[in-house]
Amino acid sequence: MLTRRSFVAGAACAAAAASARRAAGANDRIRIGVVGVRGRGSALAHEFASRADVEVACICDVDSRLFEQRAAAIEKVQKKKPAAVQDLRAMLDDKSLDAAVIATPDHWHALATILACQAGKDVYVEKPASHNAWEGRKMVEAARKYARVVQLGTQCRSAPYAKGALEYIKGGGLGKVRFVRVYNMKDRGALSDAPDGDTPAGVDYDTWLGPAPARRFNPNHFYGGTWNWKWEYSGGDIINDGVHQLDLARWLSGTRYPRAVTCAAGVFQLADKQATPDTQIVTYEYDDMLMTFEMTLWTPYMRKSAGEQRDADVFPFWQLDATKIEIYGSDRIMVFGRHGDGWQVWNKDGTPGPFGHGRQSTAPHIQNFIECMWNRARPAADIEEGHLSTFLCHLGNISHRVGGRRLVLDGDKEMFVNDAEANALLTRTYRPPYVVPETV
């Protein structure tokens, strides 16, 4: 268990730690620990374990009930069973580990990343980068201060087809890009309700809450990603899913900070316990371009592509594609799909133009991370880029939370101009001892 004392002071490693941490490059295999193995973390552990040059040496989760099954599944792939610990510090104190893969709920991403950087580990952290904008910048500061490779799990940055689309746009294929529409639409269904109760045996719920306010155990705050729709832990679908498309849109359009942002949003259809919107439109104003983000959680006719389609030379039915990006240039329009959906261009007269088929890109993204661990280059989805894209999500949510008013941004300071209420939402009140430090 990660106790308050062990969190502050550190703990002895549960595994046999090497006397000094070896740098990546000293041996043939990179040793990693995976933090959070309930959902996405389990998939990532399998991806890393499938590589001949990686050993998943440790898994870490607040729910010890997962250990036996997850460790056995990894052992089946790599023929060696990983250690399993609840204590994050114990894992990070293992000097034989080269990297941490972080797949916790969103409110733990920043603190876990910073602690890993301080422990001398490189980091692969799942999207979104952060729970709030301020701590996202602290992640960047930690990566730079400790000279760590920190890759965000926005894997389309490593997709060859995405790079092809970027080259086409940068080469002037669309003309001047003046408008970008970003879609994130699905049919999530209503959340079930559940009363507070006792914490299950084997679960360290205090650590799961971490920086968030203390409360009694509730399954709707713990299981199945339902925490996605609660401000204490996340920021709704714009940040949990839409960050993929916003990252791509920002990359393809060559933008960094908008000069202003406005959000119209609400809970219109799903009468349940979610706090974040089920319908949301955000407008980002740049000097010579507008970008919109449009999200719904109740539209069953909007579809994500199945995995087999993403790995084939098949385009989505674009009109009902749930996760597309439309890039409007002065000469042509491009429709781009994430995670292997490919891209197509149409000319002024409506005739088809260039196109690129895609493939899913988790494996290439991990490959990029491993290569950067060896050569110490910045990865494809370096945490600075991940922070800037996640920042767009935070901006939209903050506008919504202050009543939908237009907020003017000072990008150099990453603060709003003359708006104390909005600026207060750039960070959170942290629950000791799970505090993101001012100086990392």
Structural domain includes residue 391: no
- Quote the pLDDT of residue 133: 98
Report the domain count for the chain.
2
- Quote the pLDDT of residue 174: 98
Most confident option among 179-193, 211-225, 236-250: 236-250
The CATH number given to whatever domain includes residue 9 is: 3.40.50.720
DSSP conformation class of 52: T
Given a contact cutoff of 8 angstroms between Cβ atoms, the answer to whether 396 and 261 are in contact is yes
Mean pLDDT of 285-307: 96
Do 249 and 291 fall within a single domain?
A: yes
Structural domain includes residue 32: yes
Do 326 and 241 fall within a single domain?
A: yes
Structural domain includes residue 294: yes
Q: Evaluate if residue 319 carries a pLDDT over 60.
A: yes
Structural domain includes residue 76: yes
Do 140 and 252 fall within a single domain?
A: no
Would you place residue 355 in the very low, low, confident or very high pLDDT band (cuts 50, 70, 90)? very high
Give the 3-state secondary structure of residue 261.
strand
Mean pLDDT of 90-119: 97
Given a contact cutoff of 8 angstroms between Cβ atoms, the answer to whether 22 and 121 are in contact is no
Nearest residue to 152 (alpha-carbon basis) of 246, 68, 70? 246
In this prediction the pTM is 0.93
Would you place residue 194 in the very low, low, confident or very high pLDDT band (cuts 50, 70, 90)? confident
The CATH number given to whatever domain includes residue 335 is: 3.30.360.10
Q: Tally the C-alpha atoms within 13 A of residue 357's C-alpha that lie toward its C-beta.
A: 7
Do 341 and 372 fall within a single domain?
A: no
Do 355 and 368 fall within a single domain?
A: no
- Quote the pLDDT of residue 27: 58
- Quote the pLDDT of residue 13: 35
The residues near 439 (Cβ < 8 Å, ≥ 6 apart) are: none
Last residue of a domain, one of 334, 349, 382: 382
Do 226 and 306 fall within a single domain?
A: yes
Structural domain includes residue 106: yes
Structural domain includes residue 35: yes
- Quote the pLDDT of residue 10: 41
Share of the chain above pLDDT 70, in %: 94
The tokens of 305 are what? 């592509």
Do 88 and 117 fall within a single domain?
A: yes
Do 148 and 33 fall within a single domain?
A: yes
Which residue segment(s) compose the domain that 98 sits in?
Answer: 4-156+364-382
The residues near 163 (Cβ < 8 Å, ≥ 6 apart) are: none
What's the rounded Cα separation, in Å, for the pair 416 and 134? 12
Nearest residue to 416 (alpha-carbon basis) of 395, 387, 388? 395
Q: Evaluate if residue 26 carries a pLDDT over 90.
A: no
Share of the chain above pLDDT 90, in %: 89
Structural domain includes residue 407: no
Give the sheet arrangement for strand 83-85, strand by strand. Answer: 83-85, 54-60, 30-35, 99-102, 122-125, 150-152
State pLDDT tens for residues 63-104: 999 999 999 999 999 999 999 999 999 999 999 999 999 999
Mean pLDDT of 162-179: 98
Q: Evaluate if residue 324 carries a pLDDT over 80.
A: yes
Q: Which of 88-102, 137-151, 262-276 has the lowest mean pLDDT?
A: 262-276
Do 316 and 347 fall within a single domain?
A: yes
Q: Evaluate if residue 11 carries a pLDDT over 60.
A: no
In b/e form, how buried is each residue of 210-234, taking b as 16+ CB within 10 angstroms? bbbeeeebbebbbeeebbbbbbbbb
Do 126 and 258 fall within a single domain?
A: no
Nearest residue to 49 (alpha-carbon basis) of 61, 37, 65, 66? 37
- Quote the pLDDT of residue 274: 86
State pLDDT tens for residues 362-398: 999 999 999 999 999 999 999 999 999 999 999 999 9
Given a contact cutoff of 8 angstroms between Cβ atoms, the answer to whether 207 and 1 are in contact is yes
The tokens of 438 are what? 């001012």
Question: Residue 17: is it exposed, middle or buried by C-beta count within 10 angstroms (0-12/13-18/19+)?
Answer: middle
Structural domain includes residue 397: no
In b/e form, how buried is each residue of 399-412, taking b as 16+ CB within 10 angstroms? bbbbeeeebebeee
Do 165 and 120 fall within a single domain?
A: no
Q: Evaluate if residue 21 carries a pLDDT over 50.
A: no
- Quote the pLDDT of residue 342: 98
Do 144 and 232 fall within a single domain?
A: no
